[in-house]
């Protein structure tokens, strides 16, 4: 059976996860979640990955959310279990120790936008739309949207988007801080890979500790956050990579980081 999520190793310590159900707008089917879990397991076990790109296949969608056709005929309990599983897949993306980038190549609605919200950074095509549209279907975001979106764009804007179920443009998404960059479709993948390469050339242990400091500190008060930052900084001091960085700077050469 053809895999509906594919993992590719690019040059320079970058991995790329592609959702590959273009005929179904890359929606979250059980098969897609099975394959995504397998890809994430491989990423988690890898010792040479420093940045992960997540993208959709095709021109239509990054991910349109849950597979509503597959959901037809499910019992209430089956629906609850399915939504919980989508949430667990998305949490697994968020829990990756290394930086992640969502390359939003098409529409991102519902669970698709929730997946993008779980990534560290988001780059979007300039002619697409995104939104948490669940209230228009009689439900609410159930895979983290009500929690991650307010933390990213603010409570008022998140409530406006969720209550109204509006679909916003890429430009508006950038204006409110939902995405970091908006680029033409023709250069989206190239721009995403360039950013991933810029990230991946840096010390992998430092990247992990920087992510940990930000993610652990953001939901605490500033003083606690500063303590977390200090502890994460201390983890980089005894590493070979830190010494390599200092030597490379002194010798005016590109550092060769080993992740140790």
**What order do you get walking across the sheet with 107-109 strand by strand?**
61-63, 107-109, 129-131, 168-169
Q: Coil, strand, or helix at residue 237?
A: coil
Q: Among the options 25, 66, 143, 158, which is catalytic?
A: 66
Q: Which of 61, 102, 114, 206 is catalytic?
A: 114
Label the pairing between strands 51-56 and 5-9: unpaired
134 is catalytic: yes
- In the annotation, is 65 catalytic? no
Q: Can 114 be counted among the known catalytic residues? A: yes
Clarify whether 66 is annotated catalytic. Answer: yes
Alpha-carbon gap, residue 36 to 170, rounded angstroms? 26
Query: Which of 52, 65, 53, 51 is CA-nearest to residue 21?
Result: 65
Catalytic entry in 56, 65, 110, 111: 111
Task: Say which DSSP state 137 is in.
Answer: G
234 class by beta-carbon count within 10 Å (0-12 exposed, 13-18 middle, 19+ buried): exposed
**Contact criterion met (CB below 8 Å) for 83 and 148:** no
Is residue 180 within 8 A of residue 188, CB to CB? The reply is no
Strand order in the sheet with 14-19: 5-9, 14-19, 51-56, 100-104, 121-125, 181-183
Q: Which of 24, 131, 134, 142 is an active site residue?
A: 134
Positions marked catalytic: 66, 111, 114, 134
């Amino acid at each position: 059976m053809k895999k509906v999520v594919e993992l590719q190793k690019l040059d320079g310590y970058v991995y790329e996860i592609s959702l590959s159900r273009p005929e179904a707008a890359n929606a979250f089917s059980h098969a897609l979640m099975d394959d995504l879990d397998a890809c994430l397991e491989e990423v988690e076990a890898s010792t040479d990955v420093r940045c992960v790109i997540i993208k959709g296949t095709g021109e239509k969608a990054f991910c349109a959310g849950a597979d509503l056709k597959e959901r037809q005929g499910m019992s209430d309990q089956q629906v609850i279990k399915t939504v919980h599983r989508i949430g667990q897949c998305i949490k697994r993306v968020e829990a990756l120790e290394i930086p992640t980038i969502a390359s939003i190549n098409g529409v991102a609605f519902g669970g698709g936008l929730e997946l993008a919200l779980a990534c560290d950074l988001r780059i979007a095509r300039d002619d697409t739309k995104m939104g948490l549209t669940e209230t228009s279907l009689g439900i609410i975001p159930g895979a983290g949207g009500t929690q991650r979106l307010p933390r990213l764009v603010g409570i008022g804007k998140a409530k406006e988007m969720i209550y109204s179920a509006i679909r916003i443009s890429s430009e508006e998404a950038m204006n409110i801080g939902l995405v970091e960059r908006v680029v033409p479709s023709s250069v989206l993948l190239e721009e995403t890979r360039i950013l991933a390469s810029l990230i991946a050339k840096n010390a992998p242990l430092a990247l992990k500790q920087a992510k940990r400091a930000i993610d652990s500190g953001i939901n605490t008060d500033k003083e606690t956050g500063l303590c977390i930052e200090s502890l994460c900084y201390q983890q980089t001091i005894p590493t070979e990579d830190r010494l390599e960085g200092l030597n490379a700077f002194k010798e005016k050469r590109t550092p060769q980081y080993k992740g140790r």
